Structure 1
Amino acid sequence: MEFRHLRCFTVLAEELHFGRAAQRLAMTQPPLSMAIQQLEADVGARLFERNSRGVALTAAGLAFLPRAQALLEQAALAAREARDVGQGLAGQLQIGFAGTVLYRGLPQVLRAFAAAHPKLRLALRELSSSEQLVELVHDRLDLGFVHTTRVPAGFSQILVSSQPFMACLPVSHPMAKKRKLPLQALKDESFAIVMRAVSPDYHDRILAACADAGFEPALGFELRHWLSVVSVIAQGLGVGLVPAALQQAGLPGVMFLPLEQPLAPYDTHCLWRTGRDQSALGAFLAAVQRAAAPA
């Protein structure tokens, strides 16, 4: 059974006239008659009564018509969906992100992209940068927003944002009202920090910055999320060095102070496998590039 035969059948069922049906189908009457005969042979029943008064559907034809129309509609829908996916207008993207991206970069991209591509579903997974690298290498993510310079071979990246580190202190801390803070002033404090297993680059960078300032920090808390670091500090349980975007989290009980000697910035990169064949991915990356341009 061929879809062109179903199309001929449904048009003839609507017109009940071979001449008008052939005209709508942009064909002559003989091939239309042949298509109906072939369809009837495939179905195993006569679908039309033909006599001097015209054409009429048989009982079998009446029963077959709604099913034929449904098949044609499903085929048209499948074609539209495939076309939309192929053009990057529909489908699904698996996106990884580290938590701080919610305060710098990702929401702007998501809003702009959702407005322009309402049929594309974005499945978002919060993962550490290290976890995202594993998922990306095994093709379980289409792209990720990471905080790392350790990019695997075969991956491309876009710098989404770059922000300074700031000292984060409880509001009750004696130095919380200073305009700027020398890092060495924190040498006797207990630090809250993101664990090395979660973010090795920035864990090591903070320890190295403290070493450059002449001390080894006492690590009171090693946590999985930057927001947890700020929450611990808000409870008066330590101090830390955190990305400036965390000011937007609005947690009470903490102060953010610029450092007198700034550290290397905290960068966010969008990372994906080079040459990945997916139109939706290309559309999303274009949105990321537009949002990243000011950075």
Structure 2
Amino acid sequence: MVTLAQLRCFLAVVDEMNFRRAADRLNMTQPPLTRQIQALEHAIGAPLFDRSARAVKLTAAGHAFARSARRILAQTGDAVLDARRIAAGDAGSLTIAFTAASSYVFLPRFVALLRACMPEVSLTLREMNSAQQLIALRAEQIDMGLSRPPIIEPGVASLRVYREPLSVVLPHTHALAAHDTLALEDLAGQNFITYPPVEGVYFHSLITGLLHAKGVTVAQTQHVTQTHSILALVGAGLGVALVPRSAERVRFADVVFKRLRGVDDVTADLLLAWRTPGDNPACASAVEHVVAALRDPRWLA
């Protein structure tokens, strides 16, 4: 059996072409070095050095083996470094799930942060709703998720990474479009487009809870899962809606956004979720980088 120690001894002799100098380079005496070379030749079944000459010379087999030995030691060194980087979270891969609305502001900043701080970690992004993300986390199909609260799941940790107010979105021809700001009461009797109670449970509960608290009754209600689909239907004149303010970054020519007054204490929250205890060191590193970035108020400004 050939060992890495034998390869190192062999290459030291090849580099020095002198057993004594090679032994000094390896901080060992010459007899154990000679025994390592003899054991290597025995394992290979062929002489690597020509011992008939006064000077140390490689045989043809020795020349060929030296090239292979250097590649083996280089690959071994690379493997060790790769393992250390992965163990430290500086390399490897991350699969991150995200909700559609999180892609408007937070996701691009998050991806840019990871690429800057963890350039050797490959990223895979998958769009999922919050319920799907929890299932995927439990099944170890994803490493992290950008999800909506609440997350009350054994073995899943979470961190609030973004919060934003709600905005009113109207057809640009709507009578209320002339107002600078709107109150919830202004939406009474309007046809309403909002998130469904199952697939979009977080926003559905948040918005219907607001309307109920203010005693606002809307007319016909239509449920749509994705924010950009809600904007499209509003633009088609089918109703009005409440959406997270980050949706204002989605450009629809036929809609206008209005700030909602009187509910300053109500926000839509976004959570970063991951398994705990974690089995991917890159995940722990990503959390650390996000925590550090969130200390700077300019990061998400």
TM-score normalized by the length of structure 1:
0.93
Q: 1:144 aligns to what?
A: 145
The equivalent residue for 2:294 is 292
Contact map agreement 1:146 1:269 (CA 8 A) in 2: yes
Residue 55 (structure 1) shift? 1.1
My pick for the range that moved more, 86-95 or 249-258, is: 249-258
CA distance in 1, matches of 2:219, 2:111: 38
Spell out, residue by residue over 1:32-81, the C-alpha distance to the aligned partner (whole angstroms, 9 max, x if none). Answer: 11000001111111111113521111111122221111111111110010
- Map 1:109-258 → 2, pairs under 5 A: 109-212=110-213, 213-220=215-222, 222-258=223-259
Cα separation, 2, equivalents of 1:275 and 1:290: 21
| Partner of residue 274, structure 1 | 276
Aligned length: 294
Choose from 282, 285, 292 the match for 1:283: 285
**Letter in structure 1 aligned against 2:210:** A
Alpha-carbon distance in structure 1 between the residues aligned to 2:261 and 2:7: 77
Give the Cα separation in 1 of the matches to 2:4 and 2:153: 48
> Identity of aligned pairs, percent?
32
User: Which residue does 1:75 correspond to in 2?
Assistant: 76
1:15-34 aligned within 5 A: 15-34=16-35
| 2:243 alignment partner, SS class | strand
> What is the identity, as a one-letter code, of the residue corresponding to 1:59?
A
3-state secondary structure, aligned to 1:196: coil
Q: Does 1:14 align with 2:18?
A: no
Q: Which amino acid aligns with 2:85?
A: D
CA distance in 1, matches of 2:146, 2:37: 57
Secondary structure in 2 matching 1:45: coil
Q: SS state of the match for residue 275, structure 1?
A: coil
Please state whether the residue corresponding to 2:176 is helix, strand or coil: coil
Q: Choose 235-244 or 248-257, whichever is displaced more.
A: 248-257
Provide the rounded CA distance (Å) in 2 between the counterparts of 1:36 and 1:18: 10
Q: Distance in 2 between matches of 1:59 and 1:101?
A: 63
SS of the aligned residue for 1:20 comes to: helix
Verify the 8 A CA contact 2:187 2:218 in the aligned structure 1: no
TM-score scaled by length of structure 2: 0.91
SS at match of 2:261: coil
Q: Which amino acid aligns with 1:218?
A: Q
Separation (CA, whole Å) in 1 of partners of 2:88 and 2:239: 51
Q: Distance in 1 between matches of 2:117 and 2:36?
A: 43
1:232–1:278: structure 2 CA closer, same or farther, 3 Å change rule?
same
Any conservation in 2 of the 1:167–1:258 contact (CA below 8 Å)? Answer: yes
